[in-house]
Structure formats: C-alpha cells, structure tokens
Chain A
Amino acid sequence: MAKLDPVQLRLLREVADLHEVPEGAYNIRANGEAAGRNSTANIEITSKTDVSGIDIKIKDGTKNESVHIPVVMSESGLKEMVYNDFYIGKDCDVVIVAGCGIDNCGSHDSEHDGIHRFFIGSNSKVKYVEKHYGSGDGTGKRILDPQTEVYMDEGSYMEMEMVQIKGVDSTRRTTIAALKDNAKLVVRERLMTHGEQTAESIYKVDLNGEGSSADVVSRSVARDQSFQKLDLCVNGNAACSGHTECDSIIMDKGRILAVPSLEANSVDAALVHEAAIGKIAGEQLIKLMTLGLTEAEAEEQIINGFLK
C-alpha cells in the first residue's frame, strides 16, 4: 500500500479496519484510481471495460474467504460513479467488506456513488459489511449515494451490516433485493447524522420465493439539525416472512421521517413492521448520572450502545 498517503491510510482504518494489506482478495481504490489489487485462486477481480468499476467473480464452493474493496478519497472536489458487480457462485461462504471514506479539507464537494450488484448463487452464504465515513474540516460537502442490488438464488443467505456513523454530509442509500425460494436476507443498519446532514435510506425487498424471508432492522440517531428519512418496504409475493424495524433516537433539533411499508400479494405472506422514534429516556440519563457520568457522557454511552 505504498501508494496511500496518511489521510488515506486513516480512512482505510475507519472504513475497513485495515492496518495493512488485507489477506485474500482485495481492490483498493484511492482518489479515483486503483491503489492495489489482488485476486486469489477462487476470487477473481477484473476491471470493467465500459464503465469505471470492477467485476468480482467468486467460484462455486469457495469457503472461508474474504474480499475487501474499500474506497478512500482525500482530494477535494472529486466526483465519481463506480459500478461493482459481484458474481458469487453456488455453495460459497464468503465475507465481503466494502466501505467508503471521504476526507474533504477543501471547498469543493466530494462525491462517491457506488452501484453494487450482488448475484448470489444457490445455497451460498455471504456476509457483507459496508461502512461509510467522512472527515475533514473543509466547506466542501462529503456526499455518498450508494445503490445496492441483491439478487438471491434458492437457499442463499445474505447478511448485510450497513454503518454510517460519522461525517457524511449527504447520503441517499438505496438497497433493493429480490429473493428466490428459501433465500434469507438479514440487514442491520446503523445510522447517525449530525450538524446539517441529511440521510435517506431506502430498502425495497421483494420476497418472491416460497419460504424466503427478510429481517431488516435500522437503528438511527439524528442529532443537531440533521434530517433522516427511513423508507423500509417489504413485498411478500409468496409464502414468505418479512420483518422490518426502524428504531430511532431523536435529539436536539433533529428530524426523522420513518416510512415503513408492507405489501402482501400472497395470502401466505406474513409481514410485520415496527417503527419507533423518541428521545433518550430521561431515566436512562439519570441512571448513568448516578453512576458518575455527566449528562453529555451519559448521552454518548447510550447512543454508542444503541448503535453498536
């Protein structure tokens, strides 16, 4: 990783927990250019020829392997659109770590829009971790508009951990998924906005197969003047089960709009949604204060726990 500057290395730690070149397959993108790539016997990464982005092909039966594809941006005013496609074979068990960190110390907006598509083969198991992070004290905004599409074959399992805790000024994240028979999707989203930030998170899950299921849980905290819109939609088109939950803490002058929706097109679809928005319970603050924390420290602990 000789090509990365200290800011980029810090971003890499924030978004992918990486301190050095990761094991296994990886593709590191820094300021719009490839900064390192490694394919393995089972996981092949190639550049797209028509647009910017990569194809990641994972062979049938690949187990206990990982792919890291972090993106870091440290140059103000960069705007990019990247297409990454994951072709995951049958009977795989892999971990995919994505993530984008933007440091903007300048006055121009920096924007990374990634379109990720996952084609998951039957009976494969995928854990996907995506962290978004922003830093820098410039006036230029840090913008991330990711779009994720997940196509799941029979009996496949996908667990998505989507985290955006700090520093992204504006985000509109859209995730769509389509599930065949007995496929299962689990989403855990953690979102925190502060300052003047806005975040929109949209999920649209189509449960098309018999026995398919989805469990989408979003926990968020809106501080200062920030605004969040959480739009969680599950369509049950077969004998399936779906559960969505948005649980939000609102603080200061934050605003949250939660729009959970369910659509059942089969009599055997069992769908549930829960949504709750509220401020931190006064008694929680009081309890932690009796343990010696200040009110601000207590708030911090409660939020950290909530978003863990």
Chain B
Amino acid sequence: MLKLQNISFTAPDGGKAAEIIRGIDLDIPSDKFIVITGPNGGGKSTLAKLIAGIEKPSGGKLFYEGEDITELGITERARKGIGFAFQQPVRFKGLTVLDLLRIAAGKKLTVSEACEYLSEVGLCAKDYINREVNASLSGGELKRIEIATVLARDVKLAVFDEPEAGIDLWSFNNLIRIFEKMRVTEKKRTVIVISHQERILNIADEIIVLSDGQVIDQGPRERVLPEIMGAKFTADICPKME
C-alpha cells in the first residue's frame, strides 16, 4: 500500500537541529491497522506529514499503491485517497462544522449524512452542525470534528495523529469503536494511527516504534507490545545542566 524508501527529513531552518527523520524504510501493508508509537519528539508527526505531502523529504522516495508520489503535492495525494487528521486541528473563522464536512466529503452532504459522521465521534449534530470551527470550540470537540472530517472522506489510507489527545473517556470508547469498524468495513482501508495509548496499541495489527527519527521496531502487536510494555523502552535520564 505505502512504501517509504530511505526517507529523510531535515527541518528547512534546521540550523543545528540535524535530521528529524533519518533514512526510514517502511512497508505499510494494505487493509491493516497500524499503530506508530514512540517517545515525544521522535518524529511521528513529521513522518505523518511526509506521507500527506505537507512536508517534502530531503531524501528518499514514497510509493503509494505502486506509484512514486514523492513529488506529488498535498491536494493530489488527498485526491488519491490519503486522509490525514492533524494532531493539532486548525480553526477557521466563518466555516461551520457542516461546511467543513461538506468540503471533506467533496459533495453536498445532507444534514443527516453529516449528522452520522458527527455521532460517530460522539457529537450530537444538532448542537454542532452550525457551529463555527473557531476558538469557541473546546479542544476535545475540535479534535473529534477533525476525526469526522477524515471519516467523511472516501479514503484508502487514513492517518490519524494522536486522535485520543484531549478526548474524554466516553468518546474514547467511541474512538476505539470507529477504528475497529474501519478495519472490518467492506471498503478496505488502511489505517495508520499515531498513539501512545495502550488501548489503541491493543487493537493494532502491527506496531511501528519510532525513536529519534528512526524505526527501531516494526512487527505484529503480539510480539512488539510486550516489549514496549516491558522495561526495554524507558526515557533517557536528562543530564543535569551546570
């Protein structure tokens, strides 16, 4: 489905910031539920942006369904079926939740269709559909609307960046249900979720561990999860500053 070949990324204004992604090779199989995890700052969001075309790699190639998409822009990748839910969703003055869902769906969604996507993420449509996607929404609400925009699209590859962040326990159960549903749906979809949550890791087919810009482990959940939960990965102790 998706293949990364020796992908590297250096922040443009990097200075001494060195490489954020360092020569990653990855093979994401079709119709699987993949969870990427790893320490903060490890490069997960950067990797997701490289997949969506928001960042351009400084080296390496990306293949999507066999096609070299390295040079394709965000729009072209989106139109080929790549969806991306931001870790930090964007706010818009003037655009309503319904507007955004309609843009996402690429057609005139009926209110009841839009309503379905919202209730999937645990939002009652009548309270939200005409709200502006602006600063008046709470962080968790915004996050759930962000997820709904990806659900409204007909994607083949969906990338969710920490979808659980800021979401309450009740909606979290919903989220798990959405992901479970996405993997058994008749429409085959590949889902990549970036997450630190054990319950999300628990439903993964495969887990990828990213640390310091490199893939340090990739494999079936049954093998990788116990290793993560074990003592193998502990945060480095920060040296004291003099």
Contacts and interface: CB of A to CB of B under 8 A. Distances in A.
Interface of A: 247, 281, 283-284, 286-295, 301-302, 304-308
A247 B93 CA distance: 10
A290 B103 contact: no
Interface string B98-127: 011001101000000000000000000000
Given A247-B93, A284-B90, A290 B106 contact: no
B90 A301 contact: no
A284 B92 contact: yes
Nearest to B49: A286
B94 interface: yes
B94 A305 contact: yes
A287 B90 contact: yes
Contact of A292 (B75, B94, B99): B75
A283 B83 CA distance: 16
B9 interface: no
Given A291-B104, A291-B153, A305-B93, A286 B99 contact: no
A291 B153 CA distance: 8
Contacts of A289: 73-75, 78
A301 B86 contact: no
B54 A293 contact: no
B37 interface: no
A232 B195 CA distance: 48
Contacts of B52: 290
Contacts of B33: none
A306 B52 CA distance: 26
A270 to B, nearest CB: 23
B79 interface: yes
B90 A292 contact: no
Interface string B70-84: 000111001100011
A301 B100 CA distance: 10
Interface of B: 52, 54, 73-75, 78-79, 83-84, 86, 89-90, 92-96, 99-100, 103-104, 106, 149, 153
Contacts of B95: 301-302, 305
A306 B93 contact: yes
Contacts of A293: 75, 103
A305 B92 contact: yes
A308 B104 contact: no
A290 B92 contact: no
By DSSP majority rule, is chain A's interface helix, strand, loop, or mixed? helix
Nearest to B154: A292
B149 A302 contact: no
30 contacts: A281-B90, A283-B90, A284-B92, A286-B54, A286-B74, A286-B90, A287-B86, A288-B103, A289-B73, A289-B74, A290-B52, A291-B100, A291-B104, A291-B149, A292-B75, A292-B78, A292-B103, A292-B104, A292-B106, A292-B153, A293-B75, A293-B103, A294-B75, A295-B75, A301-B95, A301-B103, A305-B92, A305-B93, A305-B96, A308-B94
A295 B75 CA distance: 8
Contacts of A281: 90
Which of B83, B93, B96, B149 has the most CB atoms of chain A within a 10 A radius of its CB? Answer: B93
B149 to A, nearest CB: 6
A245 to B, nearest CB: 12
Contact of B74 (A290, A301, A307): A290
Contacts of A307: 94
A292 B79 contact: yes
B54 A290 contact: yes
A288 to B, nearest CB: 6
Interface centre among A247, A283, A295 (most CB of B within 10 A): A283
A302 B132 CA distance: 12
Given A290-B52, A291-B149, A306 B78 contact: no
Contacts of A305: 92-96, 99
A308 B79 CA distance: 27
A291 B102 CA distance: 10
A157 to B, nearest CB: 24
A306 B90 contact: no
